[in-house]
Amino acid sequence: MAPAAGARKHNIKEALLFLAALGFMMALPMWLPNRFYIRLVNEIMIYGLLAMSLDVLLGYTGLLSFMHTSYLGIGAYITGLFLMHVAPGSLWLAILVAVAATMLVAWPVGWVQVRTGGLPFALLTLAFGMMYFTVAWKWYSLTGGDDGLMGMPRPDITFFGLTLASSGDSHAMYYFTLIVVAVCLLLTWRVIHSPLGAVLEAIRENEERAAFIGYDVRRYKLLGWMIACGLAAVSGSLFILYKGYVGPATMDAFAGAAVLMMVLLGGMGSLWGPFVGAAIFIFMQDYISTMTENWEIFVGAVVILLVLFMPKGVAGLGGLLSRGQKA
Amino acid sequence: MGALATVVDLILNSLVLGGVFLIVAIGLNIIYGLNRVMNLAHGSLYALGAYAGYTLVNLGGNFFLTLLFAPLVVGLVGLVIERVLISPMRARPMVYTLILTYGLMFVMDGCLKYFWGKETRFIAMPEFMTQTLSLGPVQYPVFRLVILLAIAAVMGGLMLMLGRTRMGVNMRAAADIPEMVSAVGVNLRMVQMGAFVLGCVLAGVAGALAGPLFTVYPVMGHGMLISSFVVVVIGGLGSLRGAIYAALLIGVVQTLAEFFITDLAMVLVYMMMALILVFKPRGLVGEGKFE
Amino acid sequence: MSPILSTSELSRHFGGVAALNLVSVAIEDKQVRSIIGPNGAGKTTLINAITGRLPVTSGTVTYLGQDITSWPIHDRVKRGLCRTFQITSVFKGLTAFENVRIARQAHKGGSLRLFASRGSLKQVTEDTWAILERVGLTDKALAPCSSLAHGDQRVLEVAIALAGGPRVLMLDEPAAGMSPTETDQVAKLISDLGREMAVVLVEHDMEMVMSISDRITVLHQGGIIAEGTPAEISDNEQVKDAYLGSEKWAPLVALD
């Protein structure tokens, strides 16, 4: 049938683009002049994953989370605490535990949030985000307070018993991040195009009508929320493995705005957009924050300008050029 | 005797804190009710009010004068914001104005830092207000009592304004049925603009009142913004009555929590909010209008 | 035969105003029941109260022998209580096909398959094409919904509701804003559907109402003032009074 054929063609195009991007990222370290840039690109991939998880919520489900970095932070703290206090060598287990524990935290919070409706949902993400921040900042004995979580061991990167490298090595960490992010991207792509993804899309388009065709809207919103928080937790694990450290500033309101800006820059409702947004943002931050102390004003102003003049972001520009997908 | 003094002290402190929350939250509610905009820069406007007060007192102005000066400054800034940023966004989905005002919050915070520096500032008070008053066994700072009176006056004035003046009546009508107001020849745009500025003026008053109370620093608005959200959400969006209950409740809980468990006090406040929302997802007063 | 859907003394107040006042109505299976009345009579409020869009102030709604008064919306829909909206409410950013498909998926299940493709729900896809065929939207199935003409969007409303496998189909002014040709087509469709399921129709086009209804209920100021066959209603003096001065009643007079 017609839509299936069209979709297949589109899928093949997307698959080729994905493989090309993956190949490019594989080869990229060869061209990068030094370790600093490798680490910068590593950070871009991590924040790209976080921004993509926010976009699953914002672009595909229509829910706004102001403090999505909270869940990166929680994932990072749990990974770190697990490696420090439970099993110093178990990298994969630490990631799994972090994702599971983050989702365990996110579940009741999400449950309360989806009961209240669209706008209160957004306000509550801010309130709960500040709560997490307060805990990370003030619970000194657990989190290290303002100083952050330090002294995390560097586990080896293993694969089915095979030790590949140490996570302390920049190159190894780069490839590790790349592979985890790529797998997450594929899984997310699969979910977005699944029957569940279709339901989330319908809720974004018209929440009331979605209820009137028989969907328990709150339940599906909660599912979307859980997926987004799970992905954010993965980005958190990658974050602490890459940095070797996590502090409360990772989860403050400004960090939340930064992720939102990445999504806006890249354009809502596309999976690759947030990665582009993250790249632009992090390069800009690297460049501009060395020149001015008023980085905050700059970020805020760009967010305002984006909303006013370019609400579809870079992906929107792409859409205009190729008349491809809707943003 | 010490115990009684503590109890009275805690009650008065709760009222002061709840009162400040109330003024900020009602400003948010009025703006939302007429503009369908949740202004995330509201905490920063409150901070601006505090800084305006600080500057005036520093230049030798009277503390009571700041209660007029700060709202004036913040109201003017609010007018500019409404004209330049909010007005063009009316037709767009609410998520855009949310993100826009979030960006504005960081611009304003950055500006506060730029003009006044990162240091914490203290507002000097008139001599008589630094003394304490004996209320039976309790010694209570005159200053806090003055603030309580001022909050009551602001609320009274606001009620009069909404109940008796033409602008107020139009605002209440427009919050209920905007189409109706346009139909009877009231300029809806003017009413919406007026509501936005009024909300900002209230934030300015709250800032001027709270400045001497909590000290003045660039991100002082963040905590206030979150607390006033909690008040608005618990009270029920758009509900003035709900905001009063919720503000008092949060005032009491936060004061007690800070007294007993200090550092993680806010966590308790959020837990209580979550609990209330589990049972009353639309807020304490269910008239809240949700999008 | 016991009714498939009934309300008992259903009331809904807005502030001090009763938009619905003690409405008791029984809907029979496999019939077209029209609900008419002047503007503001409470027709849409009645549908909203029955389908759960508005909480009721008092009274009960009974559907398939169960008291559903306080059921959540989606549970009512899952049992086959489907509706359309007076103001077109479709998934604007999706294609017409996807609009119907997503509704069919809700009915058939499979929404929790995270790692399958949408096309893997074969029965859903097949049914979707059948429904689009039935309402005559096959040609426009892959166009984005926002590019459809008004009349087609109204038809799509009906198709979405049909995808829910309705046992009771509530149509809120399906022909609003349609051309005479389109109205005729939709009237034919509704009339056919009325042989398969219970259809509740709110409509201002009296010609259509008189020609396809099995029974008519007349609402006025939130209460029922008459109920009967089209012929009985057109002779009813009270109904004529209620409509007095309203042009909407003209076609009925012509029918006499």
Residue type present at position A16: L
Q: State which of A292-296, B102-106, B141-145 shows the largest mean pLDDT.
A: B102-106
Contact present, B250 and B202 (Cβ < 8 Å): no
Q: How confident is the model at residue A218 (pLDDT cuts 50, 70, 90)?
A: very high
Per-residue pLDDT tens for A130-178? 889 988 888 888 888 888 888 888 888 877 777 777 777 888 889 999 9
C-alpha to C-alpha distance for C219 and C42, rounded to whole angstroms: 7
* Residue C47 contacts A where some CB pair is shorter than 8 Å: no
Per-residue pLDDT tens for B30-40? 888 888 888 88
More confident residue, B4 or C73: C73
Q: What are phi and psi of C65, to 5 degrees?
A: 80, 0
Per-residue pLDDT tens for B212-245? 888 888 888 888 888 888 888 888 887 788 888 8
Q: C81 by DSSP, 3-state: which?
A: strand
Subunit contact A194:C121, Cβ cutoff 8 A: no
Subunit contact C73:A212, Cβ cutoff 8 A: yes
Residues of C in contact with A211 (CB under 8 A): 73-74, 77
**pLDDT, position A238:** 95
* Residue B274 contacts A where some CB pair is shorter than 8 Å: yes
Contact present, A214 and C77 (Cβ < 8 Å): yes
Subunit contact C74:A214, Cβ cutoff 8 A: yes
* Residue C73 contacts A where some CB pair is shorter than 8 Å: yes
Nearest C-alpha neighbor of A122 from the set A260, A252, A251, A255: A260
Q: Degrees (nearest 5) of the Cα angle B286, B287, B291?
A: 100
Provide the mean pLDDT of chain A. Answer: 86
Residues of chain C with pLDDT under 70: 1, 15, 244-256
Chains that contact C by 3+ CB pairs under 8 Å? A
Of A50-64, A263-277, C148-162, where does mean pLDDT reach its minimum?
A263-277
Does the pLDDT at position A322 exceed 50? no
Q: A312 by DSSP, 3-state: which?
A: coil
Contact present, A205 and A61 (Cβ < 8 Å): no
Of the CA atoms within 13 Å of residue A298, those in its CB half-sphere come to 13
Q: What are phi and psi of A6, to 5 degrees?
A: -60, -45
Does the pLDDT at position A7 exceed 90? no
Residues of A in contact with C116 (CB under 8 A): 194-195
Subunit contact C121:A1, Cβ cutoff 8 A: no
- What average pLDDT score do residues A264-271 get? 82
Q: How confident is the model at residue A3 (pLDDT cuts 50, 70, 90)?
A: low
Query: CA torsion, points B153, B154, B155, B161, in degrees to nearest 10?
Result: 110
- What average pLDDT score do residues A201-215 get? 93
Residue type present at position B254: Q
C-alpha to C-alpha distance for A39 and A170, rounded to whole angstroms: 7
Residues within 8 A of A (CB atoms), B 232-261 only:
232-233, 237
Does the pLDDT at position A64 exceed 80? yes
Q: Degrees (nearest 5) of the Cα angle B276, B278, B282?
A: 75
**Distance of CA A77 to CAs A124, C125, C215, Å?**
22, 45, 67
Interface residue of A54, A63, A123 to substitute, partner B, most B CBs within 10 Å = A123
DSSP state, residue A185: H
Nearest to C97 among A3, A209, A217 (CB): A3
C-alpha to C-alpha distance for C91 and A205, rounded to whole angstroms: 5
**pLDDT, position A316:** 58
**Distance of CA A34 to CAs A29, A286, A319, Å?**
9, 15, 35
Residues of A in contact with B102 (CB under 8 A): 66, 257, 260, 303
**pLDDT, position A188:** 94
- Beta strands, E only, A261-321: none
User: CA quadruple C180, C186, C189, C194: dihedral positive or negative?
Assistant: negative
Does the pLDDT at position A325 exceed 60? no
Tell me the nearest-neighbour CA distance from A170 into chain B, angstroms: 33
In the structure encoding, which two tokens stand for residue A146, read together? Answer: 């303002």
**pLDDT, position A318:** 47
Tell me the nearest-neighbour CA distance from A176 into chain B, angstroms: 33
**pLDDT, position A94:** 92
Nearest to A194 among C73, C107, C118 (CB): C118
Tell me the nearest-neighbour CA distance from A306 into chain B, angstroms: 9
**Percent of chain B topping pLDDT 70:** 93
Residues of A in contact with B44 (CB under 8 A): none
Q: What are phi and psi of C255, to 5 degrees?
A: -70, -25
Q: Degrees (nearest 5) of the Cα angle C60, C61, C66?
A: 105
Q: Where in chain C is the domain with CATH 3.40.50.300?
A: 1-80+168-235
Neighbouring C-beta atoms of residue A26, cutoff 10 Å: 14
* Residue B109 contacts A where some CB pair is shorter than 8 Å: yes
- Beta strands, E only, A238-297: none
Pairing of the two strands C17-27 and C5-14? antiparallel
Q: What are phi and psi of C62, to 5 degrees?
A: -115, 130
Interface residue of A56, A209, A326 to substitute, partner C, most C CBs within 10 Å = A209
Subunit contact B110:A264, Cβ cutoff 8 A: no
DSSP secondary structure letters along C171-217 = EESTTTT--HHHHHHHHHHHHHHTTTSEEEEE-S-HHHHHHH-SEEE
Does the pLDDT at position A220 exceed 60? yes
Residues of C in contact with A205 (CB under 8 A): 91-94
- What average pLDDT score do residues A41-64 get? 92
Tell me the nearest-neighbour CA distance from B172 into chain A, angstroms: 21
**pLDDT, position C252:** 44
C-alpha to C-alpha distance for C201 and C243, rounded to whole angstroms: 19
Subunit contact A119:B88, Cβ cutoff 8 A: no
Residue type present at position B139: Q
Q: How confident is the model at residue B23 (pLDDT cuts 50, 70, 90)?
A: very high
Does the pLDDT at position B1 exceed 50? no
More confident residue, A126 or A43: A43
Subunit contact A3:C142, Cβ cutoff 8 A: yes
Interface residue of A212, A220, A222 to substitute, partner C, most C CBs within 10 Å = A212
Interface of A with B (CB under 8 A): 58, 62, 64, 66, 108-109, 112, 115-120, 122-124, 126-128, 130-131, 134-135, 138-139, 253-254, 257, 260-261, 264, 294, 296-304, 307-308, 311
Nearest to B291 among A118, A130, A308 (CB): A118
β-bridge mates for residue B135, sequence order: B138
Nearest C-alpha neighbor of B27 from the set B176, B207, B248: B207
Size of the A and B interface in Cβ pairs below 8 Å: 131
DSSP state, residue A301: H
Subunit contact A127:B114, Cβ cutoff 8 A: no
C-alpha to C-alpha distance for C170 and C60, rounded to whole angstroms: 18
β-bridge mates for residue A157, sequence order: A165
C-alpha to C-alpha distance for B16 and C69, rounded to whole angstroms: 45
ipTM: 0.89
Those residues whose C-beta lies under 8 Å from the C-beta of residue B206, and which sit 6 or more positions away, are B20, B23, B24, B27, B46, B49, B224
C-alpha to C-alpha distance for B204 and B53, rounded to whole angstroms: 9
β-bridge mates for residue C58, sequence order: C11
Residues of A in contact with C92 (CB under 8 A): 205-206
Neighbouring C-beta atoms of residue B223, cutoff 10 Å: 14
- Give CATH superfamily name and number for C1-80+168-235: P-loop containing nucleotide triphosphate hydrolases (3.40.50.300)
More confident residue, B123 or A247: A247
**Percent of chain A topping pLDDT 90:** 39
Per-residue pLDDT tens for B73-85? 999 999 999 999 9
- Beta strands, E only, chain C: 5-14, 17-27, 32-36, 58-63, 66-67, 81-83, 168-172, 198-202, 215-220, 223-228
Contact present, A47 and A275 (Cβ < 8 Å): no
Interface of A with C (CB under 8 A): 1-4, 6-7, 187, 190-191, 193-199, 201-202, 204-206, 208-217, 220, 326
Neighbouring C-beta atoms of residue B169, cutoff 10 Å: 14
**pLDDT, position A5:** 64
**pLDDT, position C212:** 92
Residues of A in contact with B273 (CB under 8 A): 127
Subunit contact B226:A126, Cβ cutoff 8 A: yes
Nearest to A304 among B103, B270, B273 (CB): B103
**pLDDT, position C246:** 53
More confident residue, B9 or C179: C179
C-alpha to C-alpha distance for B27 and B39, rounded to whole angstroms: 10
Q: What are phi and psi of A168, to 5 degrees?
A: -80, -15
Contact present, C136 and C155 (Cβ < 8 Å): yes
- What average pLDDT score do residues B185-198 get? 83
Per-residue pLDDT tens for B27-69? 998 888 888 888 889 999 999 999 999 999 888 878 888 889 9
**pLDDT, position C253:** 40
For C154-178, give one letter per residue: b (16+ CB within 10 A) or e: bbbbbbbbbbbbbbbbbbbbbbbeb
Of A65-74, A262-271, C141-150, C213-222, where does mean pLDDT reach its minimum?
A262-271
Nearest C-alpha neighbor of A55 from the set A293, A320, A270: A270
* Residue B122 contacts A where some CB pair is shorter than 8 Å: no
Nearest to A131 among B103, B270, B290 (CB): B270
Q: What are phi and psi of B186, to 5 degrees?
A: -85, 140
C-alpha to C-alpha distance for C176 and C91, rounded to whole angstroms: 19
Residues of A in contact with B113 (CB under 8 A): 294, 296
Say what angle helices B2-35 and B142-164 make with each other, to 10 degrees.
30
Those residues whose C-beta lies under 8 Å from the C-beta of residue B271, and which sit 6 or more positions away, are none
Contact present, B249 and B241 (Cβ < 8 Å): no
Nearest to C114 among A3, A4, A191 (CB): A191
Q: C147 by DSSP, 3-state: which?
A: helix
Subunit contact B38:A123, Cβ cutoff 8 A: yes
DSSP state, residue C145: G
Subunit contact B100:A303, Cβ cutoff 8 A: yes
Query: CA torsion, points A97, A103, A108, A112, in degrees to nearest 10?
Result: 160
**pLDDT, position B119:** 84
Chains that contact A by 3+ CB pairs under 8 Å? B, C
Give the 3-state secondary structure of chain B: CHHHHHHHHHHHHHHHHHHHHHHHHHHHHHHHHHHCCCCCCHHHHHHHHHHHHHHHHHCCCCHHHHHHHHHHHHHHHHHHHHHHHHHHHCCCCHHHHHHHHHHHHHHHHHHHHHHHCCCCECCCCCHHHHCEEEECCEEEEHHHHHHHHHHHHHHHHHHHHHHHCHHHHHHHHHHHCHHHHHHCCCCHHHHHHHHHHHHHHHHHHHHHHHHHHHCECCCHHHHHHHHHHHHHHHHCCCCHHHHHHHHHHHHHHHHHHHHHCHHHHHHHHHHHHHHHHHHCCCCCCCCCCCC
Which residue has 């398939």 as its token pair? C64
